[in-house]
Structure 1
Amino acid sequence: MRVCKTEQVRLLDRLTIEKYKIPGEILMERAGRFVAIVADMVLKEIEGRKTVVFVGKGNNGGDGFVAARYLQKLGYDVEIILLTEPEKIKGDALLNYEKIDTDKIILRKFDNSEIDADVIIDALLGTGISGAPRGDIAKAIDVINRSHKNGAYVVSVDIPSGVNGDTGAADGVAVSADFTVTFGFAKVGQFLHPGRDLTGSLVIADIGLDNRAKSEVPIDYEFATIQEIAELLPERPPDGHKGTFGKGLIIAGSAGMTGAAVMSGLSFLRSGAGLCYSAVPRSLVDIVDTNAIEVVVLPMPEVRKKRCHTTRALGELQKHARDVDAVAIGPGLGTHFETREMVRRFLSKVQKPIVIDADGLNALAGEIDDTIPKITAPSVMTPHLGELSRLLEIPIEQIAKNKLENAKDWAKLLFTTLVIKGNPTIVADENEILHIIPIGNDGMATAGSGDVLTGLITGFLAQGLKPFDAARVGTYIHGLAGEIASQRLTRRAMIATDILDAIPDAMMTLENLPNEKIQIVDELNFKYRARNIGVGITEFKLID
């Protein structure tokens, strides 16, 4: 599903209103109504009565006026707090300000006093904010957040006030919302921290932007919905055998890092693939064999006394690679100079789809003009920011700052499908729209988590998915398993094997999604469909 930058949102609005003649008043009416629907759901859940709407001077404030009007019609006690002089309200927002019945809705200016509310609607600032909120707006945000800490629920209009719609940054104070109702499409800043946390649960509301306008605005980013990932899962013929479901070779392990071989091999099999070979240094075979009994362990020549892979293993590794459907190299390999040389020479020859991770990537540091152009097999590289910095020979600060804008260029430069691990993880390919993986948590920042991811992606490659799709499916399931593990064990206490153990539940979730969207007609006869499209993400779609 499309993710927009703020300039794209403004262009979509302008084209819809000016070129395709859909009045802005109608778009605002729909937007405010969807905000009211979410507030109504919360109020019913908590058996609340009182809503306070904080309103700024722009269209965001206009949406707040509409929401207030509908909540009053539904029988709630509604108060509007103005953060602007009435004469500064313009356009469609002014039309909706003038519709407020002050005999039924309290309307007053902001005075920095504490409020009593069950639900607060944040309609102060929109997606176009630059810099920190100032003056009364900043004070109002403080009031909202204090009330939130005291138990009030917060619903933000389009984006939490104070959050940058493009970067997710909060340069000063910003509203911490329980729900954010965003219009048309999700915004980039809603997936980037701290914006992601401040957004709360995200509701993407269709307000009727013209399809012709959508076709005229380029799509730079998308996020993976749970339905899209489920549709990408490989078919499983009922008469299939282990060869049908894909065979893989994982080149992994060294002294002290046998766990990487174990976890990557097991997660490969958890992807649904049929047979996994794990090539490990000869002296480590018993350890891996004991802890991964479903994996076929291949003993490899090793560097004497170092218990790591050696160039003497190349012939055997190349032979085994020819007999499988996909290969992974890197988990727990170590950085001995012979191991690094083995990796570089192996990658220059291998022809099967391959995942390059961890020490496989470290072996390629400084090789951007030498070994990397020689890798002709379809590949997925899975670096974290530090590994990517070493690969590209670019400072890590520059990588972190520009990863969304430059990821496709970096993928092209590395001749790969690029998975930049983080929160969020992004998947880039020069021939595809960049994908944001909107799932996962800080509990997954634990040793071995990347090995689980490597096994999953390799497993989907072995089952026939192209690298970009294998990367999307693997990263999503990895993130979903991480969410499940965190619910069981907390983010603080979970470890990588907990993610591995949660993969079956993640698969079950994907394989048992509801087929139909839920059709809803609210108490005011507003027709729409609702469906969950991810963890904490809901889509509201207008019914024609």
Structure 2
Amino acid sequence: MHLVTADEMREMDRLTIESFGLPGRVLMENAGRGAARVLMDTYPDIRDQSVAVVAGRGNNGGDGFVIARYLAGAGINVTVYLLSESLRLTGDAAANFSLLSPLNIPVREIIDESDLAQAKADMARHHVFVDAILGTGINAEVRGLFKSAIHYINERHRPVLSVDIPSGLNADTGAPCGTCIRADHTVTFAFPKIGHVLLPGALYTGELHVVDIGIPPHIVENVPPRHHLLTKDDLRTLILPRPWDTHKGRTGHALVVAGSPGKTGAAALTSMAALRSGAGLVTLGIPERLNPILEILGPEVMTAQLMETATGAHTHLSFETIMTLLTGKRCLALGPGMGTEPDTVRLVHQLVTQCPVPMVLDADGLNAVAENPEILHHRKSEIILTPHPGEMARLADTTTKEVQENRIQTARSFAQKYQVHLVLKGARTLIAHPDGHIHVNPTGNPGMAAGGMGDVLTGIISGFLAQGYGPEASAQLGVFVHGLAADRVAAEKGSIGYIATDVMNALPPALAELAGEKAWEGSPAVPLPRMDPL
């Protein structure tokens, strides 16, 4: 599903009006009518209640006037509170405001803080508020009358439906501009905005409804969005059905190089998650002293004992052995639990530049590359990086705070500069691709804030690569299914106290939920010969 910026949506509106010839007033009519329908469907008892439409003087307020008209037409008691002098209205908003009086819709103009104080007693009688104060163009701190009105609406604790975006929310970042409406529902137009789905924006947006207002498809093609929300419907089209006569050789072989003393769990989780996500075979390359432990932890995983340092960490002396192990493998997962000894860092650098198959690089593998990110320019195959914000900060030579405040920009810049696929983990994980496109993942929950979750994700993505999916599809499917499995666990066990192994074990049902009927080709029903009694 496309996500758009405020500028992209504004350009689509402009082209629809100027090039296609659809008047802006028609777009506003479609928007207001759609929002009114959502409001009435969402609150069926509203016909016995009263609604306050709190409007600004821009097009967002104009949408609010249309909503008020349709509510009044349905026999609903509605009052418009205009946070401006009506004489300051212009264009389509002014035209729609002029239609309120003939329908006897009450309007109260609120020009300053004193007017608002006097209006509060009247506003308090309403059961539902429609927030049509500020639209997607806001990017500066909300002040004055608008700030006070937003505070008042939030303090009422009444149901709120926001028009296009909660007033005060930055449509491109999801950050509140000082103060922001906390909506129960938001009706947006044509496409969701990025700020609706990123955090904390999603917390202010409430339940999001998207209304078609008539933007022609060819206009969308002229302003192609670069941001996308991962959805089940879109991802289901990527699923490769399995033939009934398939076997483990066809479903792919992944190599995992991971682990060190004290971090055997990272190696076990990564390799087992690759199997749980569908890889046919997994070989785990580990320092030789860890072999007895990992053969017990993962009985379905094959192990390869590698040379080690004096402390039991991976060493560059294993490079040739690993290159030989890569024969017949479809991917390499590198980094979880490896440690950062100089010999280990050297091995990572060698593999990043010489590995002949797609690679997933995580954890200590990322820390090794952070010492010299330029080696990414010299690799021989596709690579997927899966940093958390701290690792991303090291890779980009910045601070974690800067990363978190500019997640999309940071991820896109790095992915384009080094032509990599980058999974920036966190609430609303981002996937940045070499062409600059960004995918936002909606699955997952706070219960995932536990050790080992990243190792499971690395294994899942590797499992998809092993099955023959490309790096873009593997990253998208892997991130979505990872969160989906966690959501299933949280629904069953609660959102606090589950662990990475729980998520890993929930992968098969999560995959079944995503794949649906595409899980396999053909029918399992094979007719058996009838055995008639003698």
| Distance in 2, Cα, partners of 1:246 & 1:118 | 59
Task: State the Cα distance separating 1:493 from its structure 2 match.
Answer: 3.4
Higher strand share: 1
Task: State the Cα distance separating 1:446 from its structure 2 match.
Answer: 2.3
Letter in 1 for 2:366: L
Task: State the Cα distance separating 1:459 from its structure 2 match.
Answer: 0.9
Change in CA separation of 1:33 and 1:314 when aligned onto 2, cut-off 3 Å: same
Counterpart among 186, 196, 199 of residue 190 in structure 1: 196
| Distance in 2, Cα, partners of 1:387 & 1:72 | 55
Number of residue pairs matched by the alignment:
509
Task: State the Cα distance separating 1:50 from its structure 2 match.
Answer: 3.3
Alignment correspondent of 1:253: 259
Alignment correspondent of 1:510: 514
Alignment correspondent of 2:299: 293
| Distance in 1, Cα, partners of 2:221 & 2:346 | 49
For the 8 Å contact 1:426–1:434, the answer to whether it is kept is yes
Letter in 2 for 1:228: D
Alignment correspondent of 1:539: none
Alignment correspondent of 2:276: 270
- What is the TM-score of this pair, normalised by structure 2? 0.89
For the 8 Å contact 2:226–2:436, the answer to whether it is kept is no
- Residue by residue over 1:298-346, the C-alpha shift from the partner in whole angstroms, topping out at 9 and shown as x without a partner, is 3333323x23222333333222211211110111111122222222223
| Distance in 2, Cα, partners of 1:504 & 1:108 | 58
Task: State the Cα distance separating 1:206 from its structure 2 match.
Answer: 1.4
For the 8 Å contact 1:348–1:376, the answer to whether it is kept is yes
- 1:112 matched to 2:116: no
| Distance in 2, Cα, partners of 1:131 & 1:202 | 23
Alignment correspondent of 1:428: 432
Change in CA separation of 1:409 and 1:133 when aligned onto 2, cut-off 3 Å: closer
| Distance in 1, Cα, partners of 2:317 & 2:391 | 26
Counterpart among 143, 155, 159 of residue 153 in structure 1: 159
Letter in 1 for 2:390: G
Task: State the Cα distance separating 1:249 from its structure 2 match.
Answer: 1.0
Alignment correspondent of 1:468: 472
Alignment correspondent of 1:540: none
For the 8 Å contact 1:322–1:352, the answer to whether it is kept is no
Other structure's SS at 2:156 match: helix
For the 8 Å contact 1:190–1:196, the answer to whether it is kept is yes
Alignment correspondent of 1:41: 41
| Distance in 2, Cα, partners of 1:188 & 1:422 | 16
Other structure's SS at 1:249 match: strand
- 1:133 matched to 2:133: no
For the 8 Å contact 1:112–1:140, the answer to whether it is kept is no
Alignment correspondent of 1:244: 250
Alignment correspondent of 2:528: none
Change in CA separation of 1:432 and 1:133 when aligned onto 2, cut-off 3 Å: closer
Decide which structure has the larger Cα Rg and report it: 2
Structure 1 residue runs of 5 or longer lacking an equivalent are: 515-544
- 1:71 matched to 2:71: yes
Counterpart among 477, 483, 486 of residue 479 in structure 1: 483
Q: How does 1:97-108 map to 2 (within 5 A)?
A: 97-100=97-100, 105-108=105-108
Alignment correspondent of 2:337: 332
Q: CA RMSD in A?
A: 2.4
Change in CA separation of 1:493 and 1:101 when aligned onto 2, cut-off 3 Å: farther
| Distance in 2, Cα, partners of 1:350 & 1:425 | 27
Structure 2 residue runs of 5 or longer lacking an equivalent are: 110-115, 519-534
| Distance in 2, Cα, partners of 1:498 & 1:48 | 48
For the 8 Å contact 2:46–2:76, the answer to whether it is kept is no
For the 8 Å contact 1:329–1:354, the answer to whether it is kept is yes
- What is the TM-score of this pair, normalised by structure 1? 0.87
Letter in 1 for 2:124: I
Task: State the Cα distance separating 1:490 from its structure 2 match.
Answer: 4.2
Letter in 2 for 1:34: G
Letter in 2 for 1:32: G
Task: State the Cα distance separating 1:18 from its structure 2 match.
Answer: 2.2
Percentage identity across paired residues of the two chains: 39
